[in-house]
């Protein structure tokens, strides 16, 4: 989270402290670098579990036909593809990402899968959403919030654009609660993952950043608190895979 001290307005980029104004550009470079191998690396890194995690997040979102949904940090469109089928032709899913390379890849994947007609694409910063108040039934963000510079601002924006009765769904890496597995998890995160990134994507540094960004992200209770501070209500979370990831849900009334 960015400091409120204007003389030291810094934030974390992985384990580094960088000027807050630079973080978005640095994150953008990471995802431009990995875009071409992003889906393959997701499968390898999670041993395919990310697909189950995303389906569970969609189940928790309780999506219905005809709804209007904003998918932030949509990337290559995994959530959006599934949600577009759930909302049907009368609904709409808007895929939004700050990174044009990732969004273009998502558009191409959806076209290849025949998902057209009820999807749109918008390049946008989650901290400054170009949508009116009370516009969406759901806002989702999967594995993207930890890369946002001012998470509290982005969460407040998500609340602003959902309708009363709507909810925000955040799927994100979290805090492993099976503590005996922590050393093995750390070994995988900081040794295996960067080497895998080097071998498959020719980019160890980006995957080292991804591992570090997970450790710097708030844990389950911390993120729940941020959502409540943003004005979301009935906030709760659902741990998956021992807390490696968690799905957070908060409502607007």
Domain boundaries, the chain: 33-177+208-251
- Give pLDDT, residue 21: 85
Q: Is 142 annotated as a binding residue?
A: no
Quote the CA–CA distance of 218 and 185 in Å, as a whole number: 17
Quote the strand ranges of 14-149, DSSP E: 16-19, 68-72, 92-97, 119-123, 136-142
Quote the CA–CA distance of 25 and 28 in Å, as a whole number: 5
Q: How far apart are the first and last CA of the chain?
A: 26
**pLDDT tens digit string along 52-95?**
999 999 999 999 999 999 999 998 899 999 999 999 999 999 99
For the chain, counts of helices (H) and of strands (E) = 10, 9
Quote the CA–CA distance of 83 and 87 in Å, as a whole number: 6
Quote the CA–CA distance of 74 and 59 in Å, as a whole number: 17
Q: Is 125 annotated as a binding residue?
A: yes
- Give pLDDT, residue 37: 72
Quote the CA–CA distance of 132 and 94 in Å, as a whole number: 14
Q: Is 76 annotated as a binding residue?
A: yes
Is the Cβ–Cβ distance between 227 and 248 less than 8 Å? yes
Which CATH number applies to 33-177+208-251? 3.40.50.150
- Residue with token string 């999807």: 119
Is the Cβ–Cβ distance between 84 and 109 less than 8 Å? no
Q: Residues of the chain whose pLDDT is less than 50?
A: 1-7
- The two most distant CA atoms of the chain are separated, in Å, by 51
Torsion 38-41-45-48 (CA) sign: positive
pTM over 0.85: yes
**Coil, strand or helix: which one is 74?**
coil
Q: Is 234 annotated as a binding residue?
A: no
Phi-psi region of 47 (alpha: psi -120 to 50; beta: other; left: phi over 0): left
Which residues partner with 236 through β-bridges?
Answer: 249
């Amino acid at each position: 989270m960015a400091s409120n001290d204007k003389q030291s307005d810094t934030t974390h980029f992985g384990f580094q402290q960088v000027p807050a104004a630079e973080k978005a550009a640095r994150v953008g470079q990471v995802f431009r670098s990995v875009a071409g191998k992003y889906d393959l690396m997701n499968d390898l890194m999670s041993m395919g579990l990310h697909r189950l995690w995303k389906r569970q997040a969609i189940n928790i979102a309780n999506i219905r036909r005809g709804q209007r949904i904003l998918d932030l940090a949509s990337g290559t469109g995994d959530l959006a593809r599934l949600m577009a089928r759930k909302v049907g032709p009368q609904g709409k899913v808007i895929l939004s990402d700050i990174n044009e390379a990732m969004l273009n890849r998502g558009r191409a994947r959806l076209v290849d899968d025949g998902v057209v007609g009820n999807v749109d694409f918008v390049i946008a910063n989650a901290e400054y959403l170009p949508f009116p108040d009370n516009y969406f039934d759901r806002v989702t963000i999967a594995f993207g919030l930890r890369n946002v510079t001012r998470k509290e601002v982005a969460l407040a924006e998500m609340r602003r654009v959902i309708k009363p009765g709507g909810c925000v769904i955040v799927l994100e890496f979290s805090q492993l609660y099976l503590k005996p597995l922590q050393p093995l998890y750390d070994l995988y995160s900081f040794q295996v993952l960067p080497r895998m990134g080097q071998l498959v994507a020719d980019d160890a540094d980006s995957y080292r950043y991804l591992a570090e960004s997970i450790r710097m992200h708030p844990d389950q209770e911390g993120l729940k608190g941020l959502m409540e501070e943003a004005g979301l209500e009935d906030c709760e979370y659902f741990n998956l895979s021992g807390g490696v990831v968690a799905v957070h849900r908060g409502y607007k009334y």
